[in-house]
Amino acid sequence: MASSHQYTCLSPGLLSPSSSSSLKSASDDVSRYASSYALAQPYKHVQILPLMTPQAASGVRDEIISNLDASLRETDLFKVYQTPDLANLDKDAASSAAPHLLALLEAIYSEEFRAFVSQVTNCGPLRGDKVDVSCNVYANGGHLLCHDDVIGTRRVSFVIYLTDPDEAWEDEDGGALELFPLDTVENNNETQQHPQPSCIPTKRVPPTYNSMVLFQVTPGVSFHAVQEVYAEDKPRLSVSGWFHAATPPPGYDTNATLAQLLEGKGADALAPLAPLTADDNLVELRGVVNDVYLKPETQKQVRDSFDATGGSVELHDFLAPALANRVRAALKAADALDRLGSGRVPEDNAGIRTGWELQGPPHKRRFLEWCGGNGGGDDDDELGAVLGEVKRALASLAFGKLMSALTGDSLPSRARATARRFRAGLDYTVAHHGDLGAEDGEARLEASLTFAGGGEDDDAHETWASGEVGGFTDYVKATIDASSDKKKDDGDEEQEVGPVSKRRRKNDEESDKLAAAAEAAIYKDEDDEDDVLCSHASFNTITIVRRAPNMLRFVKYLSAAAPGSLCDVFVEFDR
């Protein structure tokens, strides 16, 4: 093992050098960083600045840009350009093509630096045989949603920022490391408390050039995210990864993000299924639903299409024009009031007012739900009022009869309807088992009536249809089997392996295998047969799906660049 004075890429004095005159300075650095770490909120973390000498930092940045290839990865959880695991870096080739990067990796995984990290974070011994690091670039629109980083034996997360040194990073550029405090919530009215993050972060750490952020990976505590990068031409470049311990942390199989994402079916329903309301005549839907869908000949055509696709259909111009125009005008006014969409940087509390409740937790979902009543409500909130009217109509027995006529399925008797607003730059849902469909193992009908904001112009329509700004709904098959020998290749500093990763439920004595396998994703993120249906956001379009019990769904994070917010009325039916 090289002695610390050989790690010349690191900032002078960061590690204890051989000279006694510099020993006190290095010790002071450890104490200063350890004190800052211990006092940090909402949980312990520290930003080390500067990490490297100016020459080394510049060299690492230039070598990554010039010599490493990064591929775009996008799932429900993230959108990022990423290199393969740098543990697999060819050292012979790197010694000439990327000597500064190679020197940095040797330094940060050295015995001395691991001891420094252990002293600062008080995390205990860190393994020297496990290198777990990659390079990541978040370009405009790039993001990573809330999670706690717990996989296998990870003990300390680190991020080394290599943003442009000649252009300061501003708050309006986005890309900050967001840290979330905990909310204490009751589960099913029991006394047991479950650690869950608040929907709004209380700390944002900027990606300051040549700095290193450290925090201990703690199940159900170390919740964090990468804020969307709003800047057009300022990519957020980092080298990031984890230091590993000998065994997984306590609570990894109960409190961690992954454990919560694998909770049983129906665990995350916002409300119980309720009997359909009494209006049972399709005539009652006149003025609500476009007349064309109330005609028997149209219903037969829709049924044939629904059967031909295996149980899904998309119907445009679904609401009656007058009602749809009310929704459009109300949504436009609400986005103008809340300054949302078209690249505007959103406020965390945008749109939260009387009748609108912020729903979380953010490692599973974040959006606003209209809870002000079915129709009427706050006289000053036309968006909530009109969505409430639509929600009431879609939860009626008359609408249940229409669903039966359009699909050929038997008449439902119960429904759960939700009116939601996904705010540009803030909101989404994540695929997870608690959102799986029927508890009884049978397929059920779901309908999502969407209203994509941004007006009637073709540019807005094309933007939504491209999928580049998110807002689309994806249905994918769940991968239930936990066992996998798949090697981890997602080295992002703040990301799980795959869109939603699944881990073994036992403390494997061969902990390196547990970490390396990092468990299979609960759905695959490649474009393969597991991607069942993708419905892009549009205005006044209803998507009807016969959802199989093993089918996950998510609404992709809505970029700040979206033309506006996305509203929907989502209804689940039960026979």
pLDDT in tens, 208-264: 999 999 999 999 999 999 999 999 999 999 999 999 999 999 988 888 888 888 877
pLDDT at 284: 82
Place of tokens 């009215």: 189
Instruction: Report helix, strand and coil shares of the chain as percent, to nearest 5.
Output: 25, 25, 45
pLDDT at residue 526 is higher than 60? no
pLDDT at residue 414 is higher than 60? yes
Print burial letters for 212-234: b (CB count within 10 Å at least 16), e (below 16): bbbbbbbbbbbbbbbbbbbbeeb
**What distance in Å separates the CA atoms of residue 87 and residue 497, rounded to the nearest whole number?**
16
The amino acid at residue 195 is P
With contact defined as beta carbons under 8 Å apart, do 493 and 136 qualify? yes
Rounded mean pLDDT, 105-121: 95
pLDDT at residue 552 is higher than 80? yes
Mean pLDDT of the chain: 85
With contact defined as beta carbons under 8 Å apart, do 552 and 477 qualify? yes
Rounded mean pLDDT, 51-67: 96
pLDDT at 33: 95
**What distance in Å separates the CA atoms of residue 126 and residue 123, rounded to the nearest whole number?**
8
Segment 91-98 long-range contacts (CB within 8 Å, at least 24 positions apart): 97/63, 97/67, 98/63, 98/64, 98/67, 98/68
Confidence tier at 93 by pLDDT (50, 70, 90): confident
pLDDT at residue 300 is higher than 60? yes
Rounded mean pLDDT, 503-518: 31
Distance in Å from the first CA to the final CA of the chain: 68
CA 114 to chain centre: 30
Of how many residues is the chain composed? Answer: 575
Rounded mean pLDDT, 30-41: 95
Percent of the chain with pLDDT over 90: 67
**What distance in Å separates the CA atoms of residue 86 and residue 70, rounded to the nearest whole number?**
12
pLDDT at 266: 61
pLDDT at 216: 97
Does the domain at residues 277-480+532-574 carry the CATH identifier 3.40.50.970?
no
pLDDT at residue 76 is higher than 60? yes
Percent of the chain with pLDDT over 70: 82
pLDDT digits (tens, 9 = 90+) for 444-495: 899 999 999 997 777 899 999 999 999 999 998 886 433 333 333 333 333 3
Higher pLDDT among residues 94 and 358, named by residue: 358
Rounded mean pLDDT, 522-532: 51
pLDDT at residue 515 is higher than 80? no
pLDDT at residue 5 is higher than 90? no
Rounded mean pLDDT, 159-180: 97
Rounded mean pLDDT, 188-193: 40
Fold of 4-255: Jelly Rolls (2.60.120)
Both structure tokens of 542: 């209803």
Rounded mean pLDDT, 81-108: 90
Closest-CA residue to 387 (of 335, 324, 343, 432): 324
Closest-CA residue to 537 (of 466, 469, 464, 476): 464
Q: Which of 265-279, 330-344, 558-572 has the lowest mean pLDDT?
A: 265-279
pLDDT at 255: 85
Place of tokens 């359009």: 406
pLDDT at 102: 95
pLDDT at residue 428 is higher than 60? yes
Confidence tier at 88 by pLDDT (50, 70, 90): confident
With contact defined as beta carbons under 8 Å apart, do 175 and 262 qualify? no
Per-domain boundaries in the chain: 4-255, 277-480+532-574
pLDDT at residue 337 is higher than 60? yes
Rounded mean pLDDT, 538-561: 95
Q: What is the largest CA-CA distance in the chain?
A: 90
pLDDT at 445: 93
pLDDT at 550: 85
pLDDT at 536: 94
pLDDT at residue 502 is higher than 80? no
pLDDT at 501: 28
